[in-house]
Structure 1
Amino acid sequence: VLAISPLIAAAIGEREFIFGEVQLTYNGAAFTMLGGGIVAMIVGVLSYQHMKDRPGVSFWSDIVNAFKGELGSITSPKTDGLFISFEGGEGSGKSTQSKLLKEWFENEGKSVVLSREPGGTDLGKNLRKILLDNDTGDISPRSEALLYAADRAHHVYSLIRPALERGDVVITDRYFDSSIAYQGAGRILSPNEVARINRWATESLFPTLTIILDQPADIGLSRIKSADRLESESIDFHNRVRQEFLQLAAVDPERYLVIDARKPVIEIHQEITSRIIEISKKR
């Protein structure tokens, strides 16, 4: 290609384009470089699709973590099942949508495991009481983050990964993005450090799709009748949580689906299933 580029440039020669009072002049070299760039981009995209050897890790996660020097730490072992997590602030409808999605998958003939964090296992139920019961009182932010990571590690080990290896669909109401948002941003720890702890705890098991049900924090909190430890935090805390969820989604659109939680329940469900159908076609 490089050998014939001068011939192509010479054949094109100099061209002038007039748009009203604006006159643009381009030579063959400029056109040749533009064409070469387009071809290189197409070849790069096709090569990535054929050579992607990091199942469970999106392209944007690769890029972001490469800049952080953490690329090797996020390789996820391949599993046969589909792993979907629901995230978002309080009162956003995660439980409702996760149950609707379970029914949809079962109507499609799939075996589905529906779980939640914390509390998806017997150990998790005990940790959930400690973490969310108002009687627990204050917990240091780092202790809280580690307790959530402990619950998550056991959840993955005893329930999520075995189900995925069987080829089941796993749906969880919250996963490690909640720790990044609540403990990382809400508690003003380092979101990157919290993320690193949770990658280790889960052996870098990333969801196939993370659905973030987004709405202003005050709307969700107004729906809660009896607030737990986290729900009782200040509006500033919950605003930081919301912004961190949105930031996570913005840097990795391949893995996240952000939906306005104020939409009608059935409309949200249809958006979710449409995205899942799209993902399933690529698997």
Structure 2
Amino acid sequence: MDKLELITRNVQEIVTEEELKQLLETKEHPTAYVGYEPSGKIHMGHVLTVNKLLDLQNAGFKITVLLADVHAYLNQKGTLEEVREIADYNKRCFIALGLDAENTNFVYGSDYQLGHEYMLKVLQLTQKTSLNRARRSMDEVGRKMDDPKVSQMVYPIMQAIDIAMLGVDIAVGGIDQRKIHMLAREGLPGLGFKAPLCIHTPILLGLDGQKMSSSNENYISVDDSEADLKKKMKKAFCPAGETEDNPVLELFKYHICPRYEEIVFERPEKFGGNLVCNSYEKLEEVFASGELHPMDLKNGATKYLNMILEVVRSVL
């Protein structure tokens, strides 16, 4: 797999692919970042962007992870002390998931976001951004947006300035970050900064087939025990033969198959014996045909996810 294939696999959107190709041609070690708001447990939705950082790191990119404690504070996720503690926990999770601790630049927002230069740039961008634009940018990521606070209107402005001050070429995030990233692309050149490229990953379904939500507890956390994982997967929505909007298949597509070249489904001989898939496409084909039963798919997902997460559990 060449660099471009590695970077673009399992993404929903690249803004723009032509700019990405040009960057790869002109810069030996480009830079990319993701900002994570420390607000609770790390789940497989977060891991999707970590996987993309791993792809970028393997493609020669220098990676920055912003542990956005000030953003979490502004988004009403706790006191600065509380969110800083969660940020430390997040950092340990990301390293355990495979990010190279020596070659990944972990930055706390509070280390630079309260400085004079940063705040001046934030104020300058507020002058160029309408209130409606700032509010629309927060629609997908803000808490209690039926009654937003002024701090939440500053949030997307700060995120744009983060991209500028960290000096990165690419901003990576879920597709829910798109409006904020577009604000950055349009607003930063007016302040003398380059417009960032953007890579957007999909939003994973929850295990019940609905939108993933901490309140619904329909997600897999990286610190779930083996027993927790088995219990959750047993109840997961997984209609036989259905390949669209199937959360168990999504776990294979985005998390398991990128890490393992060969997937072995262990079955008794009376049910056909072990089944081996060497690609996600093959897995989808055998599941759609009915050759692989939903329970066997769930059992396989449980086995491989446990292999991924046992490394994380060992350091928490």
> Same-fold call, TM > 0.5?
no
Q: Larger relative contact order (C-alpha < 8 A, sep ≥ 6)?
A: 1
Identify, as 1 or 2, the structure richer in helix: 1
